[in-house]
Structure 1
Amino acid sequence: MTGLTFIGATREVTGSCHLLEVNDRRILLDCGMRQGRGVSKASEFPFKPDGINAVILSHAHIDHSGLLPLLVSQGFKGKIYSTVATRELVRILLYDSAKIQEEDYVAGGEPPLYSEDDVNETMRLFEVFPYHEEFDLLNVGTVKFYDAGHILGSAITVISTAKTVCYTGDLGHGMSPILRAPETPIEEVDYLIMESTYGNKLHSRDDPTLKIKEIVSEVYKNKGKLLIPVFAVGRAQEILYSLKEMKEAGEIPHDLKVYLDSPMADKSTSLYSNMADYLKPEFYTQFLNNTSPFEFEGFEIIKGHEDSLNLATSNGTAIILAASGMLEGGRVMNHLPKILSDKNSVICFVGYQVEGTHGRTLLDGVSEIKLKEKVVEVSCKIEAISSYSAHADKKGLFNFVNSLKFNPYKVFVVHGEEDANKAVVESLKNLKLRAVAPTRGDTESFGGTVIKIIKEKEFKIDFSPEYITLKKSHLRIAPFCGALVESKNGMIRLISNSVLIGLMEAEEQAFTNEFKEKKIELEDLQESNNIPSKTENLSENITSFISYDMYCKKLEKFYNSKDNFGDSILSKNLAHEIYCKAIREGKDSVIRLINQKKDKGKFNIDDEEIIEKFVELIKIAVINLTIREFCKGLEPYKIKKQC
């Protein structure tokens, strides 16, 4: 059988899980936990975990990854495929989830679904890939990740077998201050599984910082506090970056303190800094230079629980970012009683609030709310800014589908409440698409022939066709030899053969001229030994080109055959670690590894000058050489043959 079974996030937002079957292989698309008050976090898997061959993980959020350790504890031993950043975020989120479940159980709650040991076993199963690199899927097809623009490392997954399946995971809004906009897969998609969180809503296109500045001004004037409940992963970093930009531009008071009160958000922000190569291109310079995009004057991270309580009971004016984003636990609960009862303070929501959560309750306009066993009057102002949403709205979802090269044969609308599901299905039917919102347990077989429909577009003819009339049918036809041409604005033209030949000749001449210019320029630069890097203007220290031979000669100077001895920095163990990181995860992971070792003092020498020169050499080499060349230069220093 080849087909799909829909298991989770069907006509609801959380608990994403879909089963793809290809021949005798069974692959899960996400394995998420259900979330919300009064909602069971998990039910029994409707399949045998040891019968699952692989999991493809779209991103790290718990509603997509939260049941992976349970799956592993019940017998799953296959690979978990994701991006590098997703694996690292999952490590943070799953350990936190296991810890919270254990604490809840000790306090009299339900038994935990899994332990930290189960998380350890889960992390060993990850196999990671960068965006756009096609990899094998159990010998039945291939997989490729595209940037979904939702959180760090989030991916749109394209699975190519006899049929091509595209799973959006969660699609970003495209207006994040730090993340790239969602990409459009280039493949011809047969079946599309897409989210619909905001399928019936339009986000404000207003600049969200304008609203924040207005709220900050009001709070500062009234000497209150601004509490921004944030999701520790994603939203916390976006808000921090926005506040940094506003502070540095003098748009909010210089003396106003900004606090981040969330251990997980602290770890996640550090990870976002270390993996800034996943952010917008303008952050790549900071990634190379190993500087954080999120640090600024007047910003403080609250480390201990006592410090959190002290801040919560303080009277000073401040901006506080705290998790959880839906007010369902975490240190944000320390701040709620005082801020809710203060008419001079404001709670500003910047993310989606699931039905049944405290956040949704406050947004619905209640006059009082029960926190644990105490009823608290709501005197503060409640605000919400939808522009910061990590999810595409109905226009964004529609545009994603419309941007695909071909209309999919069928679209399955998931990850949304019923009204949102329905709205997306109706909008897609207006595109003449087969669209459905499956319920839990629904299946779809991929048997038969799929007919791809080319999108209808208007076009103009750039020549006068010569028609002939057919005697029997009376149809007028104009045979021609030429081509269809699509311009950047989407206009399609039909051109004659003579125009086509002229275009191709001009293209060939332009390519020849460009090649000659590049060859002359390269020869001149080689003579002056001043060849520029492939990454112009990225870093003042990393702007020079390096040849393979030069790289090998310089690398040799840093090598010491005796590990942890002498004043040399490159040991066999370090060479092997760098080599494997490059082979398994790619160039940026090598830069990240070197940055982290330098930050944590993990090199076996203390000479800062040698460390700086070595780090610079590795960065220059990995940027300018191919992975094969870079790794070949390391081979003489490795102990092990395999990674």
Structure 2
Amino acid sequence: MKLEFHGANQNVTGSCHLFEAAGKKILIDCGLYQGGREMDEENSEPFGFDPTHIDYLLLTHAHLDHCGRIPLLVKKGFTGEIITTAASCELARVVLLDSAHLQEDEARYKSKKASRHGHKNEIEPLYNKLDVLNCFDFFGRKATYNQAIAITEGIQATFIDAGHILGSAAIVLEVEHKGQKRNILFSGDLGYNGRAIIKDPAPPPHADIVVMETTYGDRLHKPLEPTLEELYSTINKTIAKGGNVIIPSFALERAQELLYYLREGIENGLLPPYLPVFLDSPMAISATQIFQRHPECFDQETGKVFSSGQDPFMFPGLHFTQETADSMAINNVAGGAVIIAGSGMCTGGRIKHHLKHNLWGRNNAIIFVGFAAYGTLARQIVDGAKVVKVFGEEIPVHASVVTLGGFSAHADQAELLAWHQQTGQPKTTFLVHGDKDVMPVFAKKLHNTQVEIPELHQQYNLEEWF
């Protein structure tokens, strides 16, 4: 038995882990690196393994940093089976097509720029829309929470609800080894208790080996109630001044969660009854429609809203802007509006256009509701940059900048520790998907296990632990 780490090692993107046993190679996630230029270069580097030798890919969830290199994997020769939940399969299609669109646009831009400097070679995207469509030929069985799937003789996989986004899962590999059963547990990304829309993370089983995310392993989140109060207060103050509220948001879960709480704020009289809200993200709009098709993932409160005949994501004043022309027209809205657009880290998408038009306005507000990785435009703004570059143009930051920690889709330190405690006394816990200065902080909190913090492409022989 071997375990290899080929992404999200001492950083928070590019999740990709390879488990080998019983003559089979099983990949857990195949995510895209997100951040600055160095991260972009990582995406085009070799995987660290031969894609033609991979038998299975188990996908924990449909965020780009977990599924974003699947089309490239297929393009490089993968012909195995991809297994994930039904909701993740639907969401991944939307996410990957959007990713391909952005990469094609970026390749065209770079090709034109290179041509102006006398270089005639066309720059190719990492993958295109056809590559995305091709990769879905390899999506096979759909996992149902808590129901084991036979992978091969001696190995079965069970997906358990991770409570992170719609369809997200932690994955348990039960392996027969030398007459004994061993559990290898991959956390994926973990959500936290008490969030709107989806269920809380399910308790994990006891495990011999744990591979665990540590995104917020060094801190606690703000409670939700004061977070909502600050959200509503910022919106009301900004609208009263005639300014715009710009919210960079991930299209999956975060956008739907914002719509849910904006609806509640309006219904409870905490926000203006006809507050103009623009969901300016084709991917988020499609994702919202997918949410509506998977009520099996909803928590009890959201299920009650749906069963009453009400849509928890709709309210007066909400506008969906699919077309580019409609997006551009938002710039002409007078009197202030709330504009939700992707991407959450401001690395691409329509949010960059809205930042270009609103960062310099003193009456405007920028609200960050998610994690901002090092090297991203979002992180620069959050860290207090006075001037940032958007589309190559220097834009002064005069708008108010507010960061709301209570909306995170990731478990905080206390919840990560509580989740890990339920795994019993694993022989080894491998920490992944976290900043390199965060992982040692979290490692010191784990007292029931040996801790490893693997480097990129590091390999471990699990025979040593069994």
TM-score > 0.5, shorter chain as reference: yes
Contact 1:36–1:355 (CA<8 Å) still a contact in 2? yes
Match for residue 445 of structure 2 among 413, 420, 427: 427
Q: CA deviation at 1:90?
A: 0.5
The corresponding residue for 1:252 is 271
Describe how 1:212-611 pairs up with structure 2 within 5 A: 212-285=231-304, 292-404=311-423, 406-428=424-446, 431-447=447-463, 450=466
Contact 1:34–1:42 (CA<8 Å) still a contact in 2? no
| SS of the residue 1:203 aligns to | coil
Contact 1:191–1:410 (CA<8 Å) still a contact in 2? yes
Cα distance change on mapping 1:12 and 1:402 into 2, 3 Å? same
The corresponding residue for 1:145 is 159
Encode CA deviations 1:400-437: one digit per residue, 9 max, x unaligned.
11123x21111000000111111111111xx2420111
Encode CA deviations 1:602-635: one digit per residue, 9 max, x unaligned.
xxxxxxxxxxxxxxxxxxxxxxxxxxxxxxxxxx
The corresponding residue for 2:145 is 131
The corresponding residue for 2:119 is none
| SS of the residue 1:8 aligns to | coil
Match for residue 65 of structure 2 among 44, 63, 66: 63
Contact 2:164–2:189 (CA<8 Å) still a contact in 1? yes
The corresponding residue for 1:11 is 10
Give the number of the structure whose alpha-carbon radius of gyration is greater: 1
Describe how 1:66-85 pairs up with structure 2 within 5 A: 66-85=68-87
Give the alignment's TM-score, normalised by structure 2. Answer: 0.92
Q: CA deviation at 1:285?
A: 5.0
The corresponding residue for 1:160 is 174
Q: CA deviation at 1:185?
A: 2.0
CA distance in 1, matches of 2:456, 2:352: 34
Superposition RMSD in Å: 1.6
Q: CA deviation at 1:282?
A: 3.1
Counterpart of 1:72 in structure 2: which amino acid?
Answer: V
Counterpart of 1:258 in structure 2: which amino acid?
Answer: V
CA distance in 1, matches of 2:103, 2:356: 24
Q: Relative to structure 2, which stretch is displaced further, 275-284 or 121-130?
A: 275-284
Contact 2:428–2:450 (CA<8 Å) still a contact in 1? yes
| SS of the residue 1:223 aligns to | coil
Q: CA deviation at 1:206?
A: 4.3
Match for residue 122 of structure 1 among 135, 138, 142: 135
CA distance in 1, matches of 2:124, 2:279: 31
Q: CA deviation at 1:82?
A: 0.5
Encode CA deviations 1:281-337: one digit per residue, 9 max, x unaligned.
333356668763211111111122112112124332111111111112211122112
| SS of the residue 2:445 aligns to | helix
CA distance in 1, matches of 2:369, 2:158: 31
Contact 1:240–1:294 (CA<8 Å) still a contact in 2? yes
Counterpart of 1:202 in structure 2: which amino acid?
Answer: L
Q: CA deviation at 1:338?
A: 2.7
The corresponding residue for 2:29 is 30
CA distance in 2, matches of 1:86, 1:290: 25
Q: CA deviation at 1:200?
A: 1.0
Match for residue 88 of structure 2 among 67, 86, 89: 86
Contact 2:197–2:301 (CA<8 Å) still a contact in 1? no
Q: CA deviation at 1:220?
A: 2.2
Contact 2:274–2:316 (CA<8 Å) still a contact in 1? no
CA distance in 1, matches of 2:348, 2:49: 32
Counterpart of 1:114 in structure 2: which amino acid?
Answer: Y
CA distance in 2, matches of 1:291, 1:156: 31
Percent sequence identity over matched residues?
35
Encode CA deviations 1:466-495: one digit per residue, 9 max, x unaligned.
xxxxxxxxxxxxxxxxxxxxxxxxxxxxxx
Encode CA deviations 1:11-65: one digit per residue, 9 max, x unaligned.
0111100110002100001011111121222311222111100001000011111
Cα distance change on mapping 1:288 and 1:217 into 2, 3 Å? closer
Q: CA deviation at 1:140?
A: 2.8
Contact 1:276–1:286 (CA<8 Å) still a contact in 2? no
CA distance in 1, matches of 2:87, 2:220: 29
| SS of the residue 2:134 aligns to | helix
Contact 1:313–1:338 (CA<8 Å) still a contact in 2? no
Q: CA deviation at 1:139?
A: 2.1
Encode CA deviations 1:381-406: one digit per residue, 9 max, x unaligned.
000001000111111111111123x2
| SS of the residue 1:240 aligns to | helix
CA distance in 1, matches of 2:360, 2:244: 11
| SS of the residue 1:366 aligns to | coil
Higher RCO (CA 8 Å, separation ≥ 6 residues)? 2
| SS of the residue 1:75 aligns to | coil
CA distance in 2, matches of 1:289, 1:134: 34
Encode CA deviations 1:60-99: one digit per residue, 9 max, x unaligned.
0111111111111121111101011000000101111112
CA distance in 2, matches of 1:305, 1:449: 55
The corresponding residue for 1:200 is 218
Contact 2:102–2:349 (CA<8 Å) still a contact in 1? no
CA distance in 2, matches of 1:448, 1:365: 47
CA distance in 1, matches of 2:194, 2:248: 20
CA distance in 2, matches of 1:125, 1:268: 22
| SS of the residue 1:419 aligns to | coil
| SS of the residue 1:329 aligns to | coil
CA distance in 2, matches of 1:73, 1:374: 35
Contact 1:308–1:334 (CA<8 Å) still a contact in 2? no
CA distance in 2, matches of 1:301, 1:85: 22
Give the alignment's TM-score, normalised by structure 1. Answer: 0.67
Encode CA deviations 1:96-134: one digit per residue, 9 max, x unaligned.
111221222222254112222222221122121110111
Gaps of 5+ in 2: 112-122, 177-181
Gaps of 5+ in 1: 451-643
Cα distance change on mapping 1:289 and 1:124 into 2, 3 Å? farther
Deviating runs (4+, > 4 A) in structure 1? 285-291
CA distance in 2, matches of 1:449, 1:432: 15
| SS of the residue 2:228 aligns to | helix
Encode CA deviations 1:555-575: one digit per residue, 9 max, x unaligned.
xxxxxxxxxxxxxxxxxxxxx
Cα distance change on mapping 1:389 and 1:411 into 2, 3 Å? same
Contact 2:196–2:302 (CA<8 Å) still a contact in 1? no
